[in-house]
Amino acid sequence: AQFGSLSDRLTETFRNLRSKGRLTPSDVDGTVREIRRALLDADVALEVVKSFTASVRERALSDEVNKALNPAQQVVQIVNEELVGILGGQQRRLEFAKRPPTVIMLAGLQGAGKTTLAGKLGKWLKKDGHTPMLVAADLQRPNAVQQLQVVGEQAGVHVFAPEPGNGVGDPVKVAKNAIKAAVDQQYDTVIVDTAGRLGVDAELMKQAANIRKAVDPDEVLFVIDAMIGQDAVTTARAFQEGVDFTGVVLSKLDGDARGGAALSVASITGRPIMFASTGEGLDDFEPFHPDRMASRILDLGDILSLIEQAQSAFDEDEARAVAEKIATDNFTLNDFLQQMQQLRKAGSIKGMLGMLPGAKGMREALDNFDEREIVRTEAIIQSMTPQERELPKLLNGSRRLRIARGAGSTVTEVNALVNRFEQAAKMMKTVARGGVPQMPGMGPI
């Protein structure tokens, strides 16, 4: 899980706090000490930890907390706000040029995930109605150009690569030619993949700075591997000095890394984290929302991302039809089945469950969650008559028994499924009306 152990440590700290009605200064100090240790153990940079804990402490000792009805909750709120702050505060979107093409340059060490990101961004932009083009200006690694071509093909996005004899070996020239080609061929965004080295070096910086000068990008995204630990901070500083950048992309957030160093980058460079990369697949990628990430780390739930993911699994007409059905109470087991199948198509149900508030407590259940569960659910619904699927109220005892037999299942399982369906329908109705759903088993924070 993203920032799993940091998250576990912080939620544990808050759990201890929750049993207290009033907070003494020594309670606050104890809590701040725990937070400090958790952040340091997660590799968050020392200077970030220091200022973070200082402001949490100051605010937690203030009157606003002492007079509150629930001081513990208040402290969680403060930590949440401060965390959103170090993650960059507001979400920042890509800036598009007034006159296309918009030029987005990628920079970062070798292996950071730039080439993969080029494909992800390209695919994402294309889905959003843009006409992106990828540029292979990484001429350092022998097969980098070919790798970008493969990625481009997977993403269904055009790749501009140096022609033999024309600019081979000169990334600045390639980048310039690419911009010209984009203007001629009316691509509206150009994503320039640049070379990286294993470590920061002067030559690399000079090349990146030269490319930057030549293409005058609207955005320079610094891609940083969340797994590289404390080096993230040094590397980010070096790139800021050598090339400078307008935004940060955290990659490999799916790893088991402690990830804290990456969390420090926004705060230390003053540049916002704009995207998060969470896997090798081209769809494992999302715009970064500081508030949602903070909620996820503090296990406050991330309902918005959940809903967005669910929505992106449907096409728009279908989504509207489902919303309509939910709003008018016409959501049936058929729709439920269809949704489930679509969610599975969209991938990672487990990941989605992980975004529910209080999911930590369900960790075991999550780890034991398996695909076969869905297969069993499908079997049960498919054993129902079309009428029963439309009108679950029809499902009396003898019908349930028949269905259980047909699906090779038990009445208990059929009952459980119907209950889950009813809960889901209720929850979706609340969401459709713009409310925040009460998750079953979710206690107060």
Q: Is 108 in the site for ligand GDP (CB under 6 A)?
A: yes
Minimum distance from residue 45 beta carbon to ligand GDP (Å) = 22
In whole angstroms, what is the distance from residue 251 CA to residue 224 CA?
6
235 forms part of the interface with ligand GDP (CB under 6 A): no
Residue keyed to tokens 């989605």: 352
- Residue 112 sits in the site that holds ligand GDP (CB under 6 A): yes
Binding mask 280-299 for ligand GDP (x = CB under 6 A): x---x---------------
Q: How far is the CB of 283 from ligand GDP (least distance, A)?
A: 11
The response to whether 254 counts as a known ligand-binding position is: yes
* Binding range to ligand GDP, per CB under 6 A, among 18-26, 104-112, 340-348, 373-381: 104-112
Residues 237-256 that bind ligand GDP (CB under 6 A): 251-252, 254-255
Binding mask 176-205 for ligand GDP (x = CB under 6 A): --------------------x---------
Cβ(359)–Cβ(366) below 8 Å: yes
Please, which residue, 284 or 413, has the CB nearer to ligand GDP? 284
Count of residues that bind ligand GDP according to CB under 6 A? 18
> What is the distance between the alpha carbons of residues 14 and 37, in angstroms, rounded to a whole number?
14
Query: How far is the C-alpha of 328 from the C-alpha of 315, rounded, in Å?
Result: 20
CB 82 within 8 A of CB 88: no
Q: Does residue 292 have a known ligand-binding role?
A: no
Is 115 labeled as ligand-binding?
Answer: yes
Euclidean distance between CA atoms 440 and 427, whole angstroms: 10
- Smallest gap, in angstroms, from Cβ of residue 298 to ligand GDP? 23
Residues numbered 210 to 229 that lie near ligand GDP (CB under 6 A) are: none
For ligand GDP, the binding residues in 323-352 under the rule CB under 6 A are none
Question: What's the min distance (Å) between Cβ of 227 and ligand GDP?
Answer: 9
| Least distance CB 129 / ligand GDP (angstroms) | 25
Q: Report the residue number, 94 or 253, with the smaller CB distance to ligand GDP.
A: 253
CB half-sphere exposure, 217, CA atoms < 13 A? 30
298 known member of a binding site: no
Evaluated on CA atoms 156, 158, 162, 163, the torsion sign reads: positive
Q: Which of residues 114-153 bind ligand GDP (CB under 6 A)?
A: 114-116
Which residue's CB is nearer to ligand GDP, number 255 or number 358?
Answer: 255
Radius of gyration, alpha carbons of the chain: 25
Output the smallest distance, CB 359 to ligand GDP, in A.
21
Structure tokens at 361: 């407590």
According to DSSP, the β-strands at 273-277 and 285-287 are: antiparallel
Binding of ligand GDP by 272 (CB under 6 A):
no
Out of 177, 269, 277, 377, name the contact with ligand GDP by CB under 6 A: 277
Region of 205-213, 279-287, 296-304, 381-389 interacting with ligand GDP (CB under 6 A): 279-287
**Is 41 an interacting residue with respect to ligand GDP (CB under 6 A)?**
no
Residue with Cβ nearer ligand GDP (60 or 224): 224
Residue 111 sits in the site that holds ligand GDP (CB under 6 A): yes
Instruction: Give the separation between CA 28 and CA 58, rounded to whole angstroms.
Output: 10
Q: Residue 2, interface with ligand GDP (CB under 6 A)?
A: no
The CB-of-144 to ligand GDP minimum distance in angstroms stands at 7
Cβ-based nearer residue to ligand GDP, 82 or 284: 284
- For ligand GDP, the binding residues (CB under 6 A) are 108, 110-116, 196, 251-252, 254-255, 277-280, 284
- Annotated binding-site ranges: 108-115, 193-197, 251-254
- Annotated binding-site ranges for GTP: 108-115, 193-197, 251-254
